[in-house]
Structure 1
Amino acid sequence: MAVFRSVLFNVLAFLLTLIMGVGAFPVRWFAHGLALPYAKLWSRLVLDLFRAICGVEIRITGQEHVAGAGPKLIASQHQSAFDTLIWMLLVPQPSYVMKGELRRIPLLGPMLILTGMMPIDRADGAKALRLLLRETDTAVQAGKQIIIFPEGTRTAPGEHVALKPGIAAMAAHSGLPVVPVATNSGLFWGRNAFFKRSGVLHIAIGTPIDAPNRKVLLPRIEGAWRDLEKTFH
């Protein structure tokens, strides 16, 4: 049954993405203001398929920590493509810090730019950091909710990697507290995994962290993640 569900979900999600990718051309050409609502609709439909077909229940705790409009800095664990979809629905004006190469994906790349995402080429070193801080300023001034995955790549559930320093630079530069978010999404929609599994997928949103510098902030994010993970059981 799990194999059948996985095949059905992947096929339908691919077809939906293809159809909506082609359907995005009028938005890109004539209606830039509809780019974010259109992307939110796509995310909602993909996740509806995921829940209905794969038998996944999504439980969210601590949503009051990201409620309402206004700028926020959200530091989430990253285990799955699911994590890049769900925040489109949890906050009103999401702006993801993402890999620069995603801009070059056909159909998807141009929409990412129109929806106000923050593509950063990390290989550019100091130049990338300066760009990240400029993009942070722009997002904060627009009242957006910035989502960053400090691990820098998708990790397996329970895997611990050193956090990238960009989150600390953004927090110090913007003055925003950091909202830590833990998840177990990788158990159900793994990294590069064709097969999906049923069960209860948790998203635990923690109390914002206000830390003065990198040496304090990064360990506190990691500690908050570990505490939030304990609530999954």
Structure 2
Amino acid sequence: MLALRSLAFNLCFYAATAVIALGGLPALVSRRTVLGIARTWGRTTIWLLRHVAGIRVEFRGLENIPPGPLLVAAKHQSALETLALCVVFPEFAYILKRELLFIPVVGWHLSRGGMVAIDRSKGTRAMGLMNAAAADAIARGRQLIIFPEGTRRPVGAPPVYKQGLSHLYGALGVPCLPVALNTGLFWPRRGFVRRPGTAVIEFLPPIPAGMPRAAFQAEILERIEAASNALVEVGRAELAARGHAIPEPAREASRTA
């Protein structure tokens, strides 16, 4: 049953993605309409998760989101949060790898939506170019979303937070909103199965601008990891009560890059 339900969701999700991406091509006339298409994709995915896969996406702490330009630092376990965060922030901009802009159709949307792309081939210049593009997005009143670990991490893996987040925090002079979650329990990275349950995305109290970079890096890691670990424990208990297999924590060394 779980395999059939997962298959049904995956087929519906990729079909919806193709329809939205292709049907949204006329919307490439402006950034605002592209962001609207992204929100449609996010809402459609959340609906499919609920009604096909049996996964309810719950947003907590929405009252902690300050108005205006903002740096958003989110734990990254799944594709789910990439889509779900589009629904929450009116002027979102993701920090992403430049290679994603070359994906047909999807890359066109990312480029027209004003995402901040990192060109890793630039070496040491990449950080300065990212800071400049990020500052431009903040000046336009946007919410800049970054995954501090750079890529999806397995549930239970020790954190590997990059220095790019603290560079941006120091350069932009805006609050940083930490985001904790347990989404990888229900939509695991590189996995086919979608486990029914409650996937939680929690917005924690923002960290004001102006902290020393080293102190900020330690603070953001502690906040996100503590809250995410608590959510994962609750999610594991829910999965156990439903009789589903629970992924074992990954065994890796923890470090801050």
Change (3 A) 1:60 1:24: closer
Residue 43 of structure 1 corresponds to which residue in structure 2? 42
Corresponding letter in the other structure for 1:114? R
1:79-118 equivalences in 2 (<5 Å): 79-118=77-116
Q: How many residues align?
A: 231
Whether 1:219 aligns to 2:190 is: no
SS in 1 for 2:179: strand
Aligned-residue offset at 1:12: 0.9
Corresponding letter in the other structure for 1:166? G
Aligned-residue offset at 1:50: 1.3
TM-score (norm 1): 0.93
Aligned-residue offset at 1:10: 0.7
User: What do the CA deviations read for 1:17-46 (whole angstroms, capped 9, x no partner)?
Assistant: 112222122222x45542111121122112
Residue 123 of structure 2 corresponds to which residue in structure 1? 125
Extract unaligned runs of 5+ from structure 2: 235-257
1:66-77 equivalences in 2 (<5 Å): 66-68=65-67, 70-77=68-75
Q: Quick check: 2:65–2:206 contact (8 Å CA) kept in 1?
A: no
1:193-204 equivalences in 2 (<5 Å): 193-204=191-202
The separation in 1 between residues aligned to 2:72 and 2:155, in whole angstroms, is 19
Q: Quick check: 1:60–1:204 contact (8 Å CA) kept in 2?
A: yes
1:1-233 equivalences in 2 (<5 Å): 1-28=1-28, 30=29, 33-68=32-67, 70-210=68-208, 212-229=211-228, 231-232=230-231, 233=234
The separation in 1 between residues aligned to 2:160 and 2:30, in whole angstroms, is 41
Aligned-residue offset at 1:71: 0.3
Extract unaligned runs of 5+ from structure 1: none
TM-score (norm 2): 0.85
After superposition, the CA RMSD in angstroms is 1.6
SS in 2 for 1:85: helix
